[in-house]
Amino acid sequence: MKVNRNTLLLLAGLVWSAAGVNILHIGLSAYTAYQSALNYLLSVLVFAVFQKFIFGKLVKKHTARINAYPQERHFFMKFFDGKSFAIMALMMTGGIVLRTSGFTPERFIAVFYTGLGASLLVAGLLFGRNYGRALYAAAQNKT
């Protein structure tokens, strides 16, 4: 199924937002027993590191790639390249293994997953913002 190039940005936003909400929910669900200023600070630190060094760059990279496509319509899965899908699969597998193995303490799940989930959600929202900007630019070009 082929979609408009700008729709790829919307799809990326929906996928990353859904992942962010799920991970954030897991983290916040575990947080009730570990609420402290230090843990909040650590979650903010996890968020900031992932946003600055991983997901912020990922949003810019894929938005630029999608905007550079010369054709208007593309297969709906092209919102990411193969490498990004592999990274996503690896992260999901690693997260499931961490949670189900019992090797990681619940406090780690609470702190890390809250920061990671918030960062994923923000990445999704940034893709959504880029989708809105692309729609606006397309509308401006028509007038």
Give the chain's domain count: 1
* Domain of residue 118, residue span: 2-142
Three-state secondary structure call for residue 38 = helix
pLDDT category at 83 given cuts 50, 70, 90 is confident
Per-residue pLDDT, averaged over 17-26, amounts to 96
Please name the residues in contact with 48: beta carbons below 8 A apart, sequence gap of 6 or more: 115
pLDDT category at 143 given cuts 50, 70, 90 is confident
**CA nearest to 54, candidates 93, 20, 77:** 20
User: What contacts 24+ positions apart, CB below 8 Å, involve 62-67?
Assistant: 62/12, 62/127, 63/9, 63/127, 63/130, 66/5, 66/6, 66/8, 66/9, 66/12, 67/5, 67/134
Per-residue pLDDT, averaged over 85-101, amounts to 89
